Amino acid sequence: MTRFQIGMKRELVVSTGQEHTAQVFYKNLPDVFATPFLAGFMERVCAELMDEHLQQGEQSVGAFMQLKHTAPTPLGMSIRIAATLVGVDG
């Protein structure tokens, strides 16, 4: 099993559906892809990137996220979430 290398990448493509809308959180919000789901998918792709490189019994958790969701994403569109390892501490 290879340990972490700077530049490692992982991508996830998701087709946005009704289960990903802002209305899941509050009925008066727009029927568009919700930012909390974007954050969740970002967390997921990072976890997937690390998973195969962790030794048994090791885990990692997210500690900081900076996110700008600058435009609405209509339902039915595919979104691509990409993670690249830029540093290792520890």
pLDDT digits (tens, 9 = 90+) for 60-86: 887 888 999 999 999 999 999 999 999
What would the two tokens of residue 49 be? 């990137």
Query: What local confidence, expressed as pLDDT, does residue 24 receive?
Result: 96
23 phi and psi angles, rounded to 5 deg? -65, -15
Q: What percent of the chain has pLDDT over 90?
A: 74
Mean pLDDT of the chain: 92
pTM as predicted: 0.87
Separation of alpha carbons 26 and 81, rounded Å: 24
Q: What are the domain boundaries of the chain? A: 20-61
Query: What local confidence, expressed as pLDDT, does residue 11 receive?
Result: 98
Cβ neighbours, 10 Å, residue 45: 19
Query: What local confidence, expressed as pLDDT, does residue 87 receive?
Result: 86
